[in-house]
Amino acid sequence: MTVRLSSSLLTRLCVLALVGALAACGGGKSRPKADLAASKVTTIGVNSYLWRASLDTLSFMPLVQTDSNGGVIVTDWYANPSAPNERMKLTVSILDQDLRADALRVAASRQVMQNGQWIDAPVKAATVQKLEEIILTRARSLRHMALGQS
């Protein structure tokens, strides 16, 4: 498969590579700061792409709390109309200003209706992992759009 790059994209990639190489030469224990695409954010306390992607992903659920400085989104209980005897509640925590997989944590609670009462039930680990994957994919897409890439 052959990939063609426009000259401006090729130039941008070369500049990023050069900046990354130079940043790595600085020594010390800090990570290179070669990401010019605003994977960091200064207007809110957490990564703006992860924040926006989390809100987009959870937009169908009622929100109880949103704290952009602390990076916490808490939903209210949500029951899918096709499964009214089961409901979910989510907490999304964004832990860093960098767009990285380990900067995102999703916690889920699940309840099922038994004898007219909501009873706590286990949540499959795959459910939480899938939600994290969806949010991360959306965040990367938002970042690519901000860079003018497809």
Strands 72-75 and 117-121: unpaired
Please tell me the distance from the alpha carbon of residue 33 to that of residue 134, in angstroms, as a whole number. 26
Find the distance separating the first CA and the last CA of the chain, reported in whole Å. Answer: 18
Q: Is residue 41 part of a domain?
A: no
Taking the complete model, does pTM exceed 0.85, yes or no?
A: no
pLDDT class of 45 with cuts at 50, 70, 90: confident
CATH label of the domain that carries residue 112: 3.30.310
Instruction: Name residue, tokens 């939903």.
Output: 75
Please tell me the distance from the alpha carbon of residue 59 to that of residue 46, in angstroms, as a whole number. 19
Number of domains in the chain: 2
pLDDT number for residue 58: 97
pLDDT tens profile 95-138? 999 999 999 999 999 999 999 999 999 999 999 999 999 999 99
- Residue span of the structural domain in which 68 resides: 48-147
At 54, the amino acid letter reads S
Pair 64, 102 in one domain: yes
